[in-house]
Homo-oligomer: A and B are copies of this chain.
């Protein structure tokens, strides 16, 4: 049989690489589990017990298709945010929303601007729709709002992406700087403001939401502070016309009923959210202490992870990451120099941080022996 599908020219040109290899896949390759899961910026403190209960109840009703409009969830989010449900699009995590957004706006050859070393899954979607990615460097471990906007204007970008707080560095900008960025977005460019980690940031990091502003789409998620990464629920806040455009392309019945119910219950448990925020703050402090005790510097972070400067090259940080992995501690690291001098360690439980603390000195020594 010589038959086979004829892929589109675009698909035929795409690489087989995936943006992230997950920890389970790494564990299968290693042949043993990690003992400290500190690489994916998950909320190790877990979801709200109310969300767990709601998901268990929804499981019994899982024979029903989900509400394709996520009516209750969007209404609750709208109330929480002081906007209308027409300003809210719900999707399969920020990843899913980014994919649909790129599909809506990026035709082959269209330019998209982001920072070199920012979120790889966004870049994956841009490549997947044939977009041309143009990058600007970080500035002092921060994404550079002015440079991003200037590049977007110069390149005629369809989209310009920034995460605030930033992943993978944990750095952040105050709201007024982001608002200035929104105000400077060139006509014809949409600002994608990824606020996945916003719940961990200091007051004054998120600009006031002007939901009818057509220049910006904000992305948020239940995967981080709400501890529901496994449920895959993200949401976007945008002008109603843009929210409605998602309906032209999205998988309408794609959002699990169980996940919708879990997210809805999570919104209702602000007490749990406060506890998680406090636990993350403690964990960040402890990560900084551990770094210091090993002669390393932890970067300030407004997220649920800390970038630790390993004090050398990208190769050294890569070796530290590998040596931590060999000691059953899963962490990740930035992709691009000079940020890749760091490893990125998620806010862990005290037990996980104990494991990190005891693994780090040996991992560092072994890495230094391998890489000058």
Is the Cβ of A232 less than 8 Å from the Cβ of B256? Answer: yes
Q: What's the Cα separation between A99 and B239 when bound, in Å? A: 26
Contact of A229 among B47, B63, B92, B214 (CB under 8 A): B63
Residues of B within 8 A of A228 (CB): 62-63
Contact between chains at A231 and B214 (CB < 8 Å): no
The reply to whether A103 and B258 contact each other, CB–CB distance below 8 Å, is no
Give Cα distance in the complex from A213 to B107, angstroms: 33
Q: A55-B258, A258-B55 are in contact. Are A92 and B4 (CB under 8 A)?
A: no
**One of A18-26, A281-289, A290-298, A358-366 at the interface:** A18-26
Q: Report A59-84 residues with CB < 8 Å from chain B CB.
A: 59-69, 71
| A11 is an interface residue with CB less than 8 A from chain B | yes
A42 lies within 8 A of B65 (CB): yes
A37 B64 Cβ-Cβ under 8 A? yes
Given contacts A92-B251, A158-B6, A256-B256, contact A22 B69 (CB under 8 A): yes
Contact A22 B105 (CB under 8 A): no
In the bound complex, residues from chain B placing their C-beta under 8 Å from that of A11 are 103-105, 245, 248-249
- A302 at interface by CB-CB < 8 Å: no
Report if A190-B5 is in contact (Cβ < 8 Å); known contacts: A20-B68, A46-B60, A92-B254: yes
Copies of this chain present: 2
In Å, the complex CA distance between A100 and B24 comes to 24
Query: Is A96 a contact of B251 with CB atoms below 8 Å?
Result: yes
Chain B residues with Cβ below 8 Å from A21 are 68
A335 within 8 A of B: no
Q: Does A259 contact B (CB under 8 A)?
A: yes
**Please, which residues of chain B bring their CB within 8 A of the CB of A93?**
251, 253-254
Counting CB contacts under 8 A, is A140 at the interface?
Answer: no
Interface of chain A residues 246 through 289 with chain B (CB within 8 A): 247-249, 251-259, 262
Who on chain B is nearest to A1 by CB?
A: B214
Q: A3-B214, A5-B190, A5-B242 are in contact. Are A52 and B42 (CB under 8 A)?
A: no
The verdict on A25 contacting B59 (CB below 8 Å), with A3-B187, A10-B107 known, is: no
Interface of A is mostly: loop
Given A231-B258, A258-B258, are A59 and B52 neighbors across the interface (CB < 8 Å)? yes
Interface residues on A, range: 35 or more
Q: How far is the CB of A359 from chain B (nearest CB, A)?
A: 21
**Contact between chains at A256 and B231 (CB < 8 Å):** yes
- Residues in B with CB closer than 8 Å to A71 are 24-25, 28
| Chain A positions 128-184 with a Cβ under 8 Å from a chain B Cβ | 128, 158
Name the contact of A59 in the complex, choosing from B23, B56, B92, B104 (C-beta under 8 A): B56
A5 near B69 with CB under 8 A, answer no
Check A47 against B67 for contact (C-beta < 8 Å): no
Most buried by B among A8, A28, A58, A59: A59
- Knowing A45-B63, A107-B9, A228-B63, say if A256 contacts B258 (CB, 8 Å): yes
Given contacts A9-B107, A25-B69, contact A128 B37 (CB under 8 A): no
Q: Using Cβ atoms and an 8 Å threshold, which residues of chain B touch A68? A: 18, 20-22, 24-25
Q: Please give me the 8 A-B residue pairs with the lowest Cβ-Cβ distance, nearest first.
A: A230-B257, A55-B59, A56-B56, A62-B230, A63-B227, A24-B67, A4-B214, A8-B107
10 sample A-B contacts, Cβ–Cβ < 8 Å, listed by A number: A4-B239, A5-B105, A6-B190, A7-B245, A8-B106, A11-B245, A65-B223, A96-B251, A231-B257, A232-B253
